[in-house]
Amino acid sequence: MNSNGKPARVVSPGQILTRELEARDWTQRDLATIMGRPYQAVNEIINGNKQITPDTARELAYAFGTSIDFWMALEANYRLHLAEQNAKEQEIERRSSLYSAAPIREMIKRNWIKGSENVATLERQVLSFFKVSTLSDAMSKAASFRVSQNREVEIASQSAWVQRVENLAGDQEIGNFSIDRLRKAIPSILDLSNDLDSIAHVPEKLKDLGVHFVLLPHLPKTYLDGVAISTNKNPIIGLTLRYDRVDSFWFTLLHELAHVVSGHRGIILDDTEQRIGSANQSEENEANRAATEWLVDQKTLLEFVEEVKPYFSKSSIEAVALQLHRHPGIILGQLHHQKVVEYKHLRNLLAPVKPYLAKWEYN
């Protein structure tokens, strides 16, 4: 017996019957004849396909010289064991479905949900997090994503990250939104790209324009830099700062804003390394062009390249950055992207931006 009073190993009535038959050198047909039962009935009891009723227990007690209660208790314990096993298997299946629908371990780690040994409690938390009534609804949300398929990604993790962005945005109070107003405000947003300190004012600027801004670190195997989410009211821009560099921050931000200004609908996930081959390449190309043209005057940049190549110095980049009213790291990022400057050169200009956005970063 174990500590809770149950047998350490539950045996079926059929196993006991088989042992009793072997001890007496009887066959199943012999027992059927003795009990006056059809052979099939005895065979089904031994194979566990038929339960022992009170009448059958009485007949077995007389056939083997035991008590009726012995057979009734044996049957009851065995059926209880099967029921518990079935419940455990169902719990395993439910837990498996939960872990398939969402990155449970990461969500608990980041306090998006609370851990629980009770699968029903855990399931309720997941459904509440995704604001759905079934797990299939949670999993189907990912179907609306438009994202590059060039990399092996954890779709469930992407879905959870996006949902977290949406949940956090829902807690923000922001102004009214219009696409035309945002489009006209792009130059004033870019006025904040001249130096690092001004980056801290970007979230408030977007808030005044009616655009939610959420800075949320990416989840493992999501490979995301940003997301643009269209809603019936205010759009949402989510950034991960996976590459904590001034050039990456500004290009990704403007790329997501370009999706909004262009009226692109749905949930558009972006990975700056894998934009070629995305689910809607024409819209990605449009957002890339807009972000590039907004960020740096390409005519001026081209003239600068023609004037100084192949020798790009820190001072020359700082000079053209001053002329364009942009941080030097933004100019260098463009030159890296155009492959006129090697990626390993002058990287000290690619300053991190997280310190200036610390109060806006969520968990």
Span 27-82, pLDDT tens digits: 999 999 999 999 999 999 999 889 999 999 999 999 999 999 999 999 999 888 88
Task: List, for residues 238-262, the tens digit of each pLDDT value.
Answer: 999 999 999 999 999 999 999 999 9
Residues 6+ apart with CB under 8 A from 282: none
Q: What are the structure tokens assigned to 25, written together?
A: 């050198």
Contact assessment for residue 65 and residue 93, using Cβ atoms and an 8 Å cutoff = no
List, in order of start, the domains of the chain with CATH numbers. Answer: 13-99 (1.10.260.40), 100-142 (no CATH), 149-360 (no CATH)
Query: What is the identity of the amino acid at 256?
Result: E
Burial of 20 (0-12, 13-18, 19+ CB in 10 A): middle
Confidence of residue 88 (pLDDT cuts 50, 70, 90): confident
pLDDT for 124: 94
DSSP 271-284: -TTS-TT-TTHHHH
CA distance 295 to 222: 26
CA distance 124 to 127: 5
Long-range CB pairs of 16-25 (<8 Å, 24+ gap) are 16/74, 17/45, 17/46, 17/60, 18/46, 20/64
Residues 6+ apart with CB under 8 A from 212: 169, 172, 174, 206, 234, 235, 236, 237
Average pLDDT over residues 351-361: 95
Average pLDDT over residues 315-326: 95
DSSP 129-189: HHT-SSHHHHHHGGGGEE---SS---HHHHHHHHHHHHHHHTT-------HHHHHHHHHHH
Query: What is the identity of the amino acid at 130?
Result: F
Whether 276 shows a pLDDT value over 50: the answer reads no
DSSP 18-51: HHHHHHHT--HHHHHHHHT--HHHHHHHHTTSSP
Task: List, for residues 202-238, the tens digit of each pLDDT value.
Answer: 999 999 999 999 999 999 988 899 999 987 789 999 9
pLDDT for 1: 42
CA distance 53 to 71: 9
Whether 269 shows a pLDDT value over 50: the answer reads yes
Average pLDDT over residues 276-296: 82
